[in-house]
Chain A
Amino acid sequence: MNRKIKNIALLGNPNSGKSSIFNQLTGLNQTIGNYPGVTVDKKSGTFLVDNNQKITVVDLPGTYSIYARSADEKVVSDFLSTPTQKDFPDVLIFTADANNLSRSLLLFTQAAEFKIPMVLLLNMMDVSDKTGRSINIAALSKALGNIKIIKTNARKGTGLPELKNYLAALEVIEQSETSKVQTLDDQQQIQDTQTRYQKISDIIATCVTESNTGKTSKNTTQILDKIFVHKFLGYPIFIGILFLLFQTIYSFAELPMEVMDSLFAVLQSKAIAFFPPGTFTDLIVEGVIPGLGGVFIFIPQITILFLFVAILEETGYMARVVFLMDKIMRPFGLNGKSIVPLVSSMACAIPGIMATRTIDNWKDRIITILVTPLMSCSARLPVYAILIAIVIPDEYIFGIFNLKGIVLFALYLLGIFFALGMAWVFKIFLKTKERSFLILELPLYKAPRWKNIALILIEKIKVFIWSAGRIILAISIVLWFLASYGPGERIENAVQKVELPSNSKTQQEYDIEVGKVKIENSYIGILGKQIEPVIKPLGYDWKIGIALLTSFVAREVFVGTLATIYNVQIEDDEDTSALQEKMKSDINTNTGLPLFNLPTGLSLMVFYALAMQCMSTLAIVKRETKSWKWVFVQLGYMTTLAYVFSFITFQLFS
């Protein structure tokens, strides 16, 4: 019986524009990268066509073949061969990169064997036209069995109204079964692929004509790639780009950071004036505002980091980074497919760990999951930034290179270095012998679309503010409570013992001492003093210890925690000075020296570079490995590394 279509699925090679089409159709904001492997799970959304007909669309992971080897490829073959499952497509929308038609058609011919009605979208036609290539659509349609072909430009949405109209008019026959994927051994797969390619070559020869005239973007890409992926030049250029990024972070973020800082100081003053005196007002003024402000002033730096990454992704350079890193990482025993997860972890480890699904060898996948959180993510940036601002002098090397930017750059390199080293160590214990290779398509270089970059930036900053903001808000509230109250009369008794102001002691000195005594006898002070012996060898006092504990939830909480503790301790409503100033002036009661000096600061930076301080990452590791064992292995080895190397750093610089 014929009926209107309800479900469609998007299928295609990696980086063929499926996610862009998915976003254009559904209006959702799924992550898109100009490099392969961004979609590793199937995602679904809905859209309406002209007659208010609702269609569910599933975005499948990009794959080169139906024959499943890795987890993401298995998603595709399982999904297409199980008509009973929810969202099974009535129509398969095949997205082909018009610039790589023969490779796309290999998957197309395999997918056609499922006997699901198909529509072929020839995507990136704008680039194809520029290269002087002409595709005879009618001939191609006939050669592929009279299927519907639509020219699209997913980035602009061109061709999608035609697709919607076609789907609205289409009726399908209810089907209960499809063909299964053939089970072929490696040799049979090679033969099958060769036969298919022979047929595809004949189709391409009759349907596609190439023009060699004019300056083409393909030529531009080839010229640029001679420089950017050159076996010698490629690496210094990549290091140079990273170096420039970290210099920029320090050069351009200073002014907006000062503005943000002033805004939070004003907010604090206004809150004091607005709310009536009481405990809830204290909670807002001493706990919530400093806690949030301490982290949010780093938004300008994070914005610059995200901006650079977005530009690199948009232009296509990120795929070249993956290619370059592959060569470096291979001697350390890392799987070629580990590179995308590791590079994407420089923004956040969670999508990085999910991207390991492309790795078909389970041991290689586990190793990649274990070392991925060592890459410095954006949550470490606020921690690095505040410590660098306090302990690294504002100096320039050779008069132009900011020393603070160089230290930040070194911390990112430290993460890469340890990720490689630990991968090598795990390789010995897990004894992987199977070799696997990275199949990477280098996309054409494209000029960045600023509107798209602006949207990505807004989205990422929104996510940072919302996700980091909620947890910092909650922790600031609990911390303020624990720092303001203590068991029984303990705080009152301790304050009574403080010597009153006299000729040798000013009122200000008295207030400072009372603040210290109060917080040391609060719940948080008591807990901090208990853990202090463990962290004392690293140069930390109990306040840093508390910040280390709370930032197990998320690294950026470190800054919010210190902001709350210092505000409760100083307890002067008029003092809205920056957190950095309060940290700089604090004295370590154990040594009598400034608490945040160079050895402690460097030790803390090394600790945060290596420690597994992220509960969300642990939850993802648990979900992906379905085992507590790897969660504890990761937590254990990273905490040990962090402790040992921050101890060594502290001792070296003391």
Chain B
Amino acid sequence: MTQSILTLLAVVLAIGYIVKSTILPLFKKNKSCNSGACGCVDLKKKQ
């Protein structure tokens, strides 16, 4: 029983970590980009 709970917990944590580290960064906004001072200039504007 304990082993089953531990296994389930490990699987849930692992799925959470995969989503957090691989999918979420794609949607993350870089706040400092708003000023352009961080170097992330907007390429569209340059165009």
Contact = CB atoms under 8 A, between A and B. Distances in A.
A481 B18 contact: no
Contact of A626 (B11, B21, B42): B42
Nearest to A614: B22
B20 to A, nearest CB: 10
Interface in B25-44: 25-26, 28, 30, 33, 35-44
B43 A42 contact: no
B1 to A, nearest CB: 9
A422 interface: no
A78 to B, nearest CB: 5
Given A475-B14, A619-B25, 18 more contacts: A41-B38, A41-B39, A78-B35, A78-B36, A85-B35, A280-B3, A280-B4, A471-B22, A474-B14, A477-B11, A478-B11, A553-B22, A615-B22, A615-B25, A619-B26, A624-B40, A626-B33, A626-B42
Given A42-B38, A470-B21, A623-B40, A278 B3 contact: yes
A279 B38 contact: no
A363 B44 CA distance: 10
Contacts of B39: 40-42, 61, 71-72, 74-75, 357
A627 interface: yes
A330 interface: no
Contacts of A631: 26
Interface of B: 2-4, 6-7, 10-11, 13-15, 17-18, 21-23, 25-26, 28, 30, 33, 35-44, 46-47
B12 to A, nearest CB: 10
A10 to B, nearest CB: 15
B38 A470 contact: no
Contacts of A627: 43-44
A155 interface: no
Given A42-B37, A478-B14, A626-B43, A279 B26 contact: no
Interface in A41-62: 41-42, 61
A626 B3 contact: no
A211 B18 CA distance: 61
A281 interface: yes
B18 A74 contact: no
A76 to B, nearest CB: 10
A473 B21 CA distance: 13
A283 interface: yes
A243 interface: no
A548 interface: no
B43 A366 contact: yes
Given A74-B36, A279-B4, A481 B22 contact: no
Q: Which of B14, B39, B44 has the most CB of A within 10 A?
A: B39
A474 B37 contact: no
- Looking at chain B's contact residues, the main secondary structure is helix
Given A481-B7, A615-B25, A623-B30, A79 B37 contact: yes
B26 A615 contact: yes
B11 A481 contact: yes
Nearest to B29: A623
Contacts of A40: 39
A553 B18 contact: yes
A477 B10 contact: yes
A82 interface: yes
A191 interface: no
25 contacts: A41-B39, A42-B37, A74-B36, A75-B37, A82-B37, A278-B4, A279-B3, A279-B7, A280-B7, A283-B7, A362-B46, A471-B18, A474-B14, A474-B18, A474-B21, A477-B11, A477-B14, A481-B11, A553-B22, A616-B22, A618-B26, A619-B28, A622-B26, A623-B28, A626-B44
A585 interface: no
A220 interface: no
Nearest to A40: B39
A568 B28 CA distance: 36
Contacts of A6: none
A258 to B, nearest CB: 30
A471 B21 CA distance: 8
A616 B10 CA distance: 23
A79 B33 CA distance: 13
A475 B21 CA distance: 12
Q: Which of B11, B28, B37 has the most CB of A within 10 A?
A: B37
B21 A625 contact: no
Minimum-distance CB pairs A-B, first 5:
A278-B3, A619-B25, A280-B3, A477-B14, A474-B14
Q: Which of A74, A85, A474, A625 has the most CB of B within 10 A?
A: A474
A281 B37 contact: no
A553 B23 CA distance: 9
Contacts of B17: 470-471, 474
Contact of B43 (A41, A279, A280, A365): A365
Contacts of A473: 14
Interface in A15-50: 40-42
Contacts of B15: 474, 478
A474 B15 CA distance: 7
Contacts of A79: 37
A618 B14 CA distance: 21
Given A280-B7, A475-B14, A481-B7, A362 B47 contact: yes
B17 to A, nearest CB: 4
A75 B22 contact: no
Q: Which of A281, A470, A623 has the most CB of B within 10 A?
A: A623
A292 to B, nearest CB: 13
Contacts of B46: 362
Nearest to A360: B46
Nearest to A476: B14
Contacts of A477: 10-11, 13-14
B10 A280 contact: yes
Interface string A54-94: 00000001000000000110110011001001000000000
Nearest to A615: B22
A393 to B, nearest CB: 37
B25 A478 contact: no
Contacts of B2: 278, 280
A473 B33 CA distance: 33
Interface in A466-508: 470-471, 473-475, 477-478, 481
A623 B30 CA distance: 7
Contacts of A278: 2-4
